[in-house]
Chain A
Amino acid sequence: MSLRSPLGRVLGLGAAKDGVQHWWMQRLTSVALVPLSIWFVVSLLALPALDHPAVVAWMSHSWTALLLVIFVLTATWHSQLGVRVVVEDYVHGAGSKTVTLVIVTFTHVLIAAAGVFAVLRVAFGRAP
């Protein structure tokens, strides 16, 4: 028997049973992405060239690599939260919805891991 009152157990939990977690993480990642995405676009535009040496020199900068890792992780998280809701809204039928959500989740894990791996590989490969 739980000693918590029924009210205490449901506080913060809506019909989805996980309360405001999804909503809050979507806001949190969006707030972070405002400066991060602007930084990313401006840095790309400021690159002297888009050939391999120029991009590697840019990515092996410690702050660039760090911000790129944070940007990729935050963007993929935000993307996962958003695409999940789109699937939940427009893919009907429990089976196809679950399968689509699993594919969406796997794809986002792959994107996040690949992005972080690639940036770190370049950055560590060029460490002095």
Chain B
Amino acid sequence: MPTRPVSPHLSVYKMSRYTLATSIFNRFTGVGLSLGLLLLVYWLMAVADGAHAHARAARLLSHPLAKLLYAALIIAFCYHLVAGIRHLVWDTGRGLERAQSRRSAWLVVAVSLALILLIVYGAWFAGARAS
């Protein structure tokens, strides 16, 4: 390991900066969604292995702790989606001024919160329909 300072050193930044917070949360949720992919493929493989394997997987996937995981995945998905679109807008060269960037940071939080509520609402209705 090099003895020179190696970027990015998380410990030297002010964590309260919205620029840092929105950026690191985008990364954090991205890694979380990667783990979600593992879960998705586990489920798909169980479906492919027939009703028996699916029932066994469904028991595991409907554990109360798994529901906590789905809540985290919904939050991660909504934030990563909206923050990713913000990045795509930046890539066109727009919205990079400090005032615009601060405004879009709040917009990302607001829109992802709205999306989270929408999905939870949809999931609640789907659950009511299934039972």
A64 interface contact, C-beta 8 A = no
Residue of A nearest to B130 (CB): A49
B60 interface contact, C-beta 8 A = no
Interface size on B, residues (CB 8 A): 37
The smallest beta-carbon distance between B38 and chain A, in angstroms, is 6
Give the distance in Å from the alpha carbon of A79 to the alpha carbon of B91 in the complex.
Answer: 19
Residue of A nearest to B52 (CB): A52
The smallest beta-carbon distance between A119 and chain B, in angstroms, is 6
Per-residue interface assignment for chain A, residues 28 to 58, with 1 indicating a CB less than 8 Å from any chain B CB and 0 otherwise: 0011011001100110111111111101100
B126→A47 contact, CB < 8 A: yes
Give the distance in Å from the alpha carbon of A82 to the alpha carbon of B7 in the complex.
Answer: 17
A89→B8 contact, CB < 8 A: yes
Contacts of B129 in A (CB 8 A): 48-49
**Among the listed stretches B13-21, B80-88, B96-104, B105-113, which one makes contact with chain A, having 4 or more residues with CB under 8 Å of it?**
B80-88
- Mark out the residues of chain A between 37 and 93 whose CB falls within 8 Å of any chain B CB in the assembled complex: 37-38, 41-42, 44-53, 55-56, 59, 68, 72, 75-76, 79, 82-83, 86, 89, 92-93
B55 interface contact, C-beta 8 A = yes
Q: Which residue in B30, B40, B45, B77 is a CB contact (below 8 Å) of A82?
A: B30
Contacts of A51 in B (CB 8 A): 54, 58
Q: Which applies to chain A's interface (DSSP): helix, strand, loop or mixed?
A: helix
A92→B1 contact, CB < 8 A: yes
Q: Which applies to chain B's interface (DSSP): helix, strand, loop or mixed?
A: helix
The smallest beta-carbon distance between B60 and chain A, in angstroms, is 13
Residue of A nearest to B26 (CB): A82
Interface centre among B6, B37, B50, B55 (most CB of A within 10 A): B37
Give the distance in Å from the alpha carbon of A93 to the alpha carbon of B1 in the complex.
Answer: 4
Q: Which residue in B55, B58, B77, B88 is a CB contact (below 8 Å) of A30?
A: B88
Give the distance in Å from the alpha carbon of A72 to the alpha carbon of B33 in the complex.
Answer: 12
A111 interface contact, C-beta 8 A = yes
- Mark out the residues of chain A between 91 and 128 whose CB falls within 8 Å of any chain B CB in the assembled complex: 92-93, 111, 114-115, 117-119, 121-122
